[in-house]
Amino acid sequence: MKNYSQDLRSFLRRREARSTFRRRLAMMNAMKALPSFLFLAFCSALPASMKAETAQMVFLNGNIYTMNERAPHAEAIATQGDRIVFVGSNDSAKKYQTAGTRVIDLAGKTVVPGLTDSHCHIFGIGERELTLNLEGTNTLQDFLDKVKERTAKTERGKWITGRGWIETFWQPPQFPTRADLDKIAPDNPVFLTRADGHAAIVNTAALRLAQIDKNTPNPFGGEILRDKQTGEATGMLLDHAQGLVGKNIPKASEAERREAFVVGVKREISLG
């Protein structure tokens, strides 16, 4: 448990240092790139000439950011169920009110469009669904059982790849090791990506293909976690160290990439 805590701290420090700038840059680019799409998709404002719908809720006196550069600010929002039916002025919003409408005074508070998933990797999601999906595993043993089941169905020597595990939800939380994987998949190279994509666990067969041993230096922007006593790689690869092994995995064909993209999109759509 002590070693896991130390490794986790190292992982989190490295991840945060590399992610902070990328998050800020991505947010800046996204804000610049979002045109009137969000306004149309999330705000659904109706022209005054159309007959107003009734609203269950009306929000007035707000500082509302529409993400539409032609009309960047509004005062009011009207909603019906889980749909926004109007964004505009206070006076126009009142047309949606009935005796049963709940009216909320925002008193100048700021409102922005809400995104339930502002950052995702569609290809990664699709690949996870098409390979070994380890999402929802709740213990190391549960994780290993799923890998063992896939190994039994995989031809000897073929890669076993998957994604979705995250040890912080396991009881107890602990990183898997190459020794764990070697016991159940000694004859197949294994590469299993953590849910966030910033780490992967591999087995000895995969390390051998990448020619990684105790003397292999960490690549720029990555880390090979090592046993504190022996200095040997534990099988955990952080950030850019994943590429040392990942480059040996056969590349997906164009058809497979298209399928992964479609599957990823459908999965996101299924969540609303």
pLDDT for res 1: 61
d(CA 90, CA 87): 9
pLDDT for res 97: 94
pLDDT for res 65: 92
pLDDT for res 34: 43
Write the Ramachandran bin of 44: left for phi over 0, alpha for psi from -120 to 50, otherwise beta: left
d(CA 79, CA 219): 52
pLDDT for res 9: 64
- Residue 25: CB atoms within 10 A of its CB come to 10
pLDDT for res 49: 39
CA neighbor of 104 nearest in space, from 65, 61, 64? 61
CA neighbor of 161 nearest in space, from 184, 212, 127? 127
pLDDT for res 10: 63
Angle, helix 254-270 to helix 122-130, in steps of 10 degrees: 100
Q: How far is CA 132 from the centre of its chain?
A: 17
pLDDT for res 28: 52
d(CA 136, CA 165): 7
The stretches in the chain having pLDDT less than 70 are: 1-2, 5-6, 8-52, 115-118, 272
d(CA 68, CA 78): 17
pLDDT for res 130: 94
Structure tokens at 238: 């952080």
Could you tell me the domains of the chain?
36-111 (2.30.40.10), 120-270 (3.10.310.70)
Is pTM beyond 0.85? Reply is: no
pLDDT for res 266: 93
